[in-house]
Chain A
Amino acid sequence: MRRSSVLPGFGVSAAITSLVVTSLIIIPLSVLILRAASLGPAEFLEAAWTPRARAAYAVSLGASLVAAAISSVCGLLVAWVLVRIDFPGRRLLDALVDVPLALPTAVAGLVYSTLYVEKGWLGRFLVPLGIHGAYSWLGIVLVLVFVSLPFAIRVVQPVLESLDRDSEEAARMLGASRVQTFLQVIFPAIFPAVLTGFALALARALGEYGSVVFISGNMPFKTEIAPVLIVSRLEEFAYAEATAIAVVLLAMSVSLLVIVNWLQQRVANNSQ
């Protein structure tokens, strides 16, 4: 049953794979969940549902949703331009989109916070207008857009590339306006991909720590995200509380993973 193949190496590769997956993924995450479960419902709630923790979930979820939405809209626009329009520097723009994947998040956080402070390159124009991009909720959104933008672009791009142009031309010839064609022909076809990009961007944003810790100022109840709260609990050796908050965050990420998988299956089915 297990082998449909005469190829060698099943045993070795199965051994290596299960060793790594078990020791790095299954055991650590099980220990985390068991540790949280050992608290008991009342204790768990007390640890995971304090006013400060609730505020942190709200900041995390709110900023991540806004950032993922911005990334999805900007991502669709950039992907559209990269696929549909030929212009000098297209290749360069395409390559630059990958920068956030390669640039360490700590560097991104450091640079963003220095750009948007009062004396920074961008802050000197924005702060007089009352726009504070550093040590604020807006700053969190800015770095989260930075880290999640490539996901939104790279999911939509191949789908746009493989889009059938015939139905578009047909719609135009039958008298549909450009806006109508986009809304009624193109958008329905790429919507699952846009949604997948949104979910991936959201998952990335929810877990992000490195860049946010620089720019948010980490003020409890205001700009403290859940991962930052986990770290500060951990540094106080409040393991139970840190674990409980981590499990709530993990539950959010896992439900997103399930949604992403489901969406990707739908995208795969649609393109067949």
Chain B
Amino acid sequence: MPKPTITSANPLTHRLLVAAAVGIVGLLIVVPLTSVFAEAFAEGPAAWWRALAHDPDTRHAIWLSLTVAPIAVAINTVFGIAAAWLVSRFRFPGRSLLITLCDVPFSVSPVVAGLALVLIFGRQGLLGPTLATLGWKVIFSWPGLVLATTFVTLPLVVRELIPVMEAIGPEEELAAVSLGASGWQVFSRVTLPNIRWALLHGIVLANARAMGEFGAVYVVSGHIAGATDTMPLRVEKLFQEYRTPASMAVASVLAGLALVTLVAKFVIERRLEAEARELEAARSLPDTIDGSSTPPDAGPHTSTHGPIA
């Protein structure tokens, strides 16, 4: 915590700075967030419930979102663990290229990603006609939604796992292998318990992004009401149909989900920080014995999870 030192500004400057920060966050974040719920419940909870449950297209959109997001998150979880294991435990040519490639979805516009999928799987795409003869439909259908959602959420789990697995190091896993553990045993008994909070953090973030993805999904879905509309697409369609209250009702469900996500994220981050501290303490132990350790308050602990969440 900041101590009063020569470098601290006077209380008035402090107060002005805090007021400015609160003003920025309040105007940009708190007011919009509050107004979602205010608008959604403007006509009372009964109207809110009717807008959600009595509109078959909205019901279908909720169901579709609840199907597509978990599939995308599951793919990302498997991919995230595999890629993080590969990058943090092995050295091979193309390793840094792989790390860069994992980040690509962050900087590609979701619309561009959706378009790329249309160029492959669309009716005039590379594989589209072939798949159509087999009776498979990807674009304007749920597999396209899953592909688009997986693309935009791809970096989220890997990015959480790589720094944590790098920090933990391979020693415990090497010990398990030398004691004769099988690959699966090493993973389930050593690696997974070590990375569980980081993994959960990534899954929570990926799920939030998957539920809320708009651009990429918009392009591949064809937004057919009652068929390929996810919740965010339903929000847009209701808005375009001048049914703003119904649109706000769906938006409020998504906003509620975002708040749940943030609470979960907060709790998980506390656990992650605690584990990182434990790891640091364990690391500094041998140093203490030979007297070359740094004092415990040598520097504030920087969190292992990157800003690009």
Contacts and interface: CB of A to CB of B under 8 A. Distances in A.
Interface string A80-104: 1110111101000101111111111
B33 to A, nearest CB: 6
Nearest to A60: B109
B183 to A, nearest CB: 4
B168 interface: no
Nearest to A18: B98
B86 A13 contact: yes
B91 interface: yes
A81 B18 CA distance: 6
B187 A253 contact: no
A231 B218 CA distance: 9
A161 B303 CA distance: 10
A105 interface: yes
Interface residues of B, number: 108
Interface in A103-143: 103-108, 110-112, 114-115, 121-122
Contact of B109 (A17, A112, A162, A206): A206
Contacts of A153: 307
B90 A4 contact: yes
Interface in A46-77: 74, 77
Interface stretch (B5-13, B50-58, B274-282, B287-295): B5-13
What is the predominant secondary structure among interface residues of chain A facing chain B? helix
Contact of B21 (A7, A78, A154, A257): A78
**On chain A, which size bracket covers the interface?**
35 or more
A28 interface: yes
A106 B302 contact: no
Contacts of B7: 165, 168-169, 172, 181
A29 B32 contact: no
Contacts of A37: none
Given A8-B183, A85-B18, A110-B239, A253 B107 contact: yes
Given A10-B86, A16-B78, A102-B265, A25 B32 contact: no
Interface string B227-239: 0000111011001
A213 B240 CA distance: 11
Contact of B9 (A26, A95, A178, A246): A178
A272 interface: no
B251 interface: yes
B219 interface: yes
A158 interface: yes
Given A7-B170, A80-B17, A102-B261, A25 B101 contact: yes
Interface string B19-35: 01110110011111101
B203 interface: no
A24 B262 contact: no
B179 interface: no
Interface in B142-193: 147, 150-151, 154, 170, 173-174, 177-178, 182-183, 186-187
Given A10-B86, A17-B98, A99 B33 contact: yes
Interface in B30-64: 30-33, 35-36, 39
A192 interface: no
Contact of A105 (B101, B118, B214): B214
B268 interface: no
Given A5-B90, A35-B119, A24 B235 contact: no
A158 B305 CA distance: 11
Contact of A93 (B22, B187, B236, B247): B22
Contact of B28 (A114, A146, A231): A146
Given A31-B126, A98-B265, A207-B111, A6 B105 contact: no
Contacts of B135: none
Contacts of B212: 102-107
Interface of B: 1-2, 5-9, 14, 17-18, 20-22, 24-25, 28-33, 35-36, 39, 75, 78-79, 81-83, 85-86, 89-93, 98, 100-113, 115-120, 124, 126, 147, 150-151, 154, 170, 173-174, 177-178, 182-183, 186-187, 205, 208, 211-215, 218-219, 231-233, 235-236, 239, 244, 247-248, 251, 254-255, 258-259, 261-262, 265-266, 299-300, 302-303, 306-309
Given A25-B105, A105-B215, 10 more contacts: A1-B93, A12-B183, A21-B98, A28-B117, A107-B232, A146-B32, A158-B302, A162-B300, A168-B7, A210-B232
Interface of A: 1-10, 12-14, 16-17, 20-21, 24-29, 31-32, 35, 74, 77-78, 80-82, 84-87, 89, 93, 95-108, 110-112, 114-115, 121-122, 145-146, 149-151, 153-155, 157-158, 161-162, 165, 168-169, 172-173, 178, 181, 197, 200, 203-204, 206-210, 213-214, 226-227, 230-231, 234, 239, 242-243, 246, 249-250, 253-254, 256-257, 260-261
Q: Which 7 A-B pairs have CB atoms at the shortest separation, nearest pair first?
A: A104-B212, A154-B307, A207-B109, A210-B214, A209-B215, A8-B183, A28-B116
